[in-house]
Amino acid sequence: MLDRFAAHLSGELGRSPHTVRGYLADLRSLLAFLEENGYRVEDLDVLLVRGWLSRSRDAGASRATVSRRVAAVRALTRYLHREGVLAADPGPRLSGPSQRRSLPAVLDEGQAAAALSRPPGDAPLDLRRRAVVEVLYATGVRVAELCALDLADVDRERDTVRVLGKGAKERTVPVGAPALDALDAWLSGGRPEMASAAGGAALFVGARGGRLGVRQAREDVHAYLRAAGADGAPHGLRHSAATHLLNGGADLRSVQEFLGHASPRSTQIYTHVSVERLRDTYRRAHPRA
């Protein structure tokens, strides 16, 4: 049943491999809970799910973990109801904990400029690290989206990148001249030396010549920023790109499209960051601040 459900998640719903793995791990825990208490999948109802979630909370599960488990169960019960396994779908009656939306850690414009003004080395690895950081900051893409880019996804005539995001949704993102210059350096002086047949059409390749993995891309960002005297991660560059766009006058709807958010609610967190700039301006400029 879980195998069929996994195929449904990835094939029909377009969920990422990371999401599928997380959901399946949660649901194995739920099925074990049912078995321990003498129930079958067909017995799933709101009370049983709440009992399992309560045990998760008692075991120290975070709010984010509990929210993900609720989402996993809702997806499963909707699928089982559609397949005729459950007579009714208890999913809509389940609610997860409210999420505390913390302000993302970002580089300010000066820190980003200083980090990216450092001349890269000439070694292929140095060129790749510089290009990875430049593209992440220039486009605001997720690190998994960056690793999935192919050579043909970069449109040099329009200065854009075609990105395949969550739910297999495609979007086109503008990319600036510094990132394109870093890409040119990587493509001419780095990729030819590192690529193998295993890399295929991948824009970025790893040490063995295959497509660059997410873990290695994260290490590239950490290593580059540490060498530049800064601290950050790939998602921090995404946060920074969004915040700097808003600080520069971009409207929220454009930033939502830029980031590939399905809902404006996901983008609104960045307004809390950019309001700090407004507050600083207010304090400096208003006579009664």
Which residues, 6+ apart, have CB-to-CB distance to 19 below 8 Å?
9
Burial class (CB within 10 angstroms; exposed 0-12, middle 13-18, buried 19+) of 66: middle
Query: Which residue is listed with tokens 């690895």?
Result: 125
Q: How far is CA 69 from the centre of its chain?
A: 19
174 in helix, strand or coil?
strand
**CA neighbours closer than 13 Å in the CB half-sphere of residue 126:** 10
Question: Are the C-beta atoms of 213 and 161 separated by less than 8 Å?
Answer: no
Distances (CA, A) of 31 to 74, 123, 185: 14, 51, 52
205 in helix, strand or coil?
strand
Distances (CA, A) of 131 to 21, 82, 137, 282: 30, 46, 10, 37
- Catalytic site positions: 142, 166, 235, 238, 261, 270
Cα–Cα distance for residue pair 166/262, rounded to 1 Å? 9
First to last CA, the chain: 62
Task: Compute how many other C-beta atoms are within 10 angstroms of the C-beta atom of residue 263.
Answer: 8
Q: Pick from 46, 106, 38: which is nearest to 70 by CA? A: 46
Q: Pick from 229, 225, 232, 255: which is nearest to 242 by CA? A: 255
